[in-house]
A and B are shown apart, each in its own frame.
Chain A
Amino acid sequence: MTVSAFTPNEMMTIAASRALSNDDVCFVGIGAPSAACNVARLTHAPDITLIYESGTIGTAPDVLPLSIGDGELCETALTTVSVPEMFRYWLQGGRISIGFLGAAQLDRFGNINTTVIGDYHHPKVRLPGGGGAPEIATSCKEVFITMKQATRGMVEKIDFYTSFGHGDGGDHRKRLGIDTKGPTLLITDLALWKPDPESKEFTVVSMHPGVTREQVQETCGWRVRFAERVEETPPPTALELTTLRDLQARTEGAHSGKKGA
């Protein structure tokens, strides 16, 4: 396999998986975060603890779950606890090192909206809402966010604060009495972003192979800040790509939905 042939989505998932380590206890959101966490587990972080909010602790699914409560998660977990216990003892109790979230709308300070587009009481589009995210964003020691870049999603101002990132930036979290780090990494299909240590504004620190600054700016609704030195993200290795593609092929086979298949 030639390692140069990969899609931006694959690069995003693999770059996200690299940010996770063996010692992490990770609260996994469904979709892109789930793919990244399981690629990490199947490559460099075999002992990572993956937790889904349905109560499954230390799960190791063979295929990616379609929902947060698929049977596969429970069958492969070390233990499955009730949902109140999950949120009280494990999340609120401060036992999760990384919360991994996706976003419908995101601003430059890592605040996320998955609730409504438009006014809350008269929405243009009613989105599903927060689920576990409002507390994941504040109770996990730090938060990673992953999403595809688009001006519709990465906006100057979000319509609703479903989950709090760095608020207006600076020490806003501290002022609200939140002692966790909040968003520390944003992984998109084009780049890796980290918050500026002072302002907390997301700053591009690495661009994926072949990506230009113009592309990053064109697909982002705010004026993008680039770090003084912008690295190039190493391309996916053959092992990373094979692992991701195999996982996706198994997942597609399992969820293709034929009764009795």
Chain B
Amino acid sequence: MAKFQSLKEAVADNLRDGDTVAFEGFTHLIPHAAAHEVIRQGIKDLTLIRMTPDIIYDQLIGMGLAKKVVFSYAGNPGVGLLRRMRDAIENKWPRAIETVEHSHAAMANAYEAGAAGLPCAVFRGYRGAGLKEVNPAIKSVVCPFTGEELAAVPAHRPDVTFIHAQKASRRGDVLIEGIIGVQKEAVLAAKRAVVTVEEIVDDFNDLHPNLCVLPHWTVTSLVHVPGGAHPSYTHGYYSRDNASYLEWDKISADRDLFTQWMKANVLDVGPDVFASRVKGL
């Protein structure tokens, strides 16, 4: 049953050192505010799952909170590389991280298998691909009906999934609109789910019947954080802050600059700053 909490309480109640955690949102609705709260609380030794690690994982990794990253595209979308993640992989700064690399298709299938309560995902993939040789979690199965060899990967079953969404009702049901990515699957695959939202409305009585809605009993904690996806965007509320993504390329290029930026913009502030960051976007 969804519990309305402050972001501080929701993170402290749900995420522990050593947990496996997914923060999802495919370019859209990335739960930045939640990730920043995890950084403030210094929850460590995390196994991070995310299709496109982008800025939030660059920050978690750069702050030394990740021990392992499971991913399929480690880039700053539209800009280039993830410099903190690269520094951890190439130079072990601030600590070494283990990486488990997949394709997008494999990650999406693994979340879906997790949501479906299956131990693994089966799909037609990785044919001729080099990842099969370097990731022992990529295996194959033979279709018992046709004999076709198919790829198999373990289902994602995170301890906690964090997502950001447009609306929650007072009962705690959640509405996700626009590019919905893999969030529904990531929530249903997890043991606990924390959702930050732009807005809380009385009820969902007037919604179109086929929208992407998570019933309140699939969500553990709900937090009202306007602007909580910034510099990602929330369809219907504010646009993507492309300038911040470009700026991140410079901030993340230098260890000292990164450390200073994190102190000023994450450690020394709270979730309330997000509302002001999206003004005018």
Residues of A bordering B, CB below 8 Å: 30, 53-56, 65-71, 73-74, 80, 82-84, 86-88, 91-92, 115, 120-121, 123, 125-135, 137-139, 160-164, 167, 172-173, 176-178, 255, 257-260
Does B37 reach chain A (CB closer than 8 Å)?
Answer: no
Q: A53 CA to B179 CA in the complex, in Å?
A: 10
Q: A150 CA to B19 CA in the complex, in Å?
A: 44
Does B187 reach chain A (CB closer than 8 Å)?
Answer: no
Considering residues B73, B112, B123, B126, which has the most beta carbons from chain A within 10 angstroms of its beta carbon?
A: B73
> Do residues A91 and B128 form an inter-chain contact, with CB atoms below 8 A?
no
Nearest 7 Cβ contacts at the A-B interface: A69-B27, A164-B128, A257-B243, A128-B75, A260-B280, A67-B77, A66-B78
> Do residues B185 and A163 form an inter-chain contact, with CB atoms below 8 A?
no
Q: A196 CA to B112 CA in the complex, in Å?
A: 40
Answer whether A134 and B105 are a contact pair too, CB < 8 Å, given A82-B182, A176-B127: yes
B281 contacts which chain A residues (CB < 8 A)? 259-260
Does B235 reach chain A (CB closer than 8 Å)?
Answer: yes
* Beyond known contacts A74-B179, A134-B127, A173-B128: 12 more, CB 8 A cutoff: A74-B178, A80-B178, A82-B181, A88-B123, A120-B134, A123-B89, A126-B81, A126-B86, A133-B103, A135-B105, A164-B129, A172-B128
> Do residues B129 and A134 form an inter-chain contact, with CB atoms below 8 A?
yes
Question: Which of A69, A92, A255 touches B124 (beta carbons < 8 Å)?
Answer: A92
Question: Which of A53, A162, A173 touches B130 (beta carbons < 8 Å)?
Answer: A162
A147 CB, nearest partner CB in chain B, Å: 16
Q: Which residue of B is nearest A139, CB measured?
A: B124
> Do residues A257 and B242 form an inter-chain contact, with CB atoms below 8 A?
yes
B71 CB, nearest partner CB in chain A, Å: 7
Q: Which residue of B is nearest A182, CB measured?
A: B128
Q: Which residue of B is nearest A175, CB measured?
A: B128
14 of the cross-chain contacts (CB-CB < 8 Å) are: A55-B181, A66-B78, A69-B26, A80-B179, A83-B51, A83-B104, A87-B123, A129-B73, A134-B127, A135-B104, A160-B130, A176-B127, A257-B242, A259-B241
> Do residues A255 and B27 form an inter-chain contact, with CB atoms below 8 A?
no
> Do residues A259 and B105 form an inter-chain contact, with CB atoms below 8 A?
no
Does B72 reach chain A (CB closer than 8 Å)?
Answer: yes
A260 CB, nearest partner CB in chain B, Å: 3
A125 contacts which chain B residues (CB < 8 A)? 86, 90
> Do residues A134 and B75 form an inter-chain contact, with CB atoms below 8 A?
no
B124 CB, nearest partner CB in chain A, Å: 5
Q: A134 CA to B73 CA in the complex, in Å?
A: 12
Q: Which residue of A is nearest B108, CB measured?
A: A84
Answer whether A87 and B109 are a contact pair too, CB < 8 Å, given A67-B27, A128-B81: yes
Q: Which residue of B is nearest A255, CB measured?
A: B242
> Do residues A71 and B235 form an inter-chain contact, with CB atoms below 8 A?
yes
B78 CB, nearest partner CB in chain A, Å: 4
> Do residues B105 and A132 form an inter-chain contact, with CB atoms below 8 A?
yes
Answer whether A126 and B77 are a contact pair too, CB < 8 Å, given A82-B184, A135-B125: no
> Do residues B179 and A126 form an inter-chain contact, with CB atoms below 8 A?
no
Does B148 reach chain A (CB closer than 8 Å)?
Answer: yes
Answer whether A92 and B105 are a contact pair too, CB < 8 Å, given A69-B179, A260-B281: yes
Q: A132 CA to B72 CA in the complex, in Å?
A: 8
Q: A133 CA to B105 CA in the complex, in Å?
A: 9
Q: A138 CA to B131 CA in the complex, in Å?
A: 14
> Do residues B78 and A164 form an inter-chain contact, with CB atoms below 8 A?
no
Answer whether A84 and B78 are a contact pair too, CB < 8 Å, given A126-B90, A162-B130: no
B175 contacts which chain A residues (CB < 8 A)? none
A88 contacts which chain B residues (CB < 8 A)? 108-109, 112, 123
B126 contacts which chain A residues (CB < 8 A)? 134-135
A30 contacts which chain B residues (CB < 8 A)? 77-78
B278 CB, nearest partner CB in chain A, Å: 9
Question: Which of B90, B111, B131 touches A130 (beta carbons < 8 Å)?
Answer: B131
Q: Mark B138-166, 1 if CB is under 8 A from A, else 0.
A: 00000000001100000000000000000
> Do residues B123 and A55 form an inter-chain contact, with CB atoms below 8 A?
no
Q: A179 CA to B222 CA in the complex, in Å?
A: 47
Q: Which residue of A is nearest B51, CB measured?
A: A83
> Do residues A129 and B109 form an inter-chain contact, with CB atoms below 8 A?
no
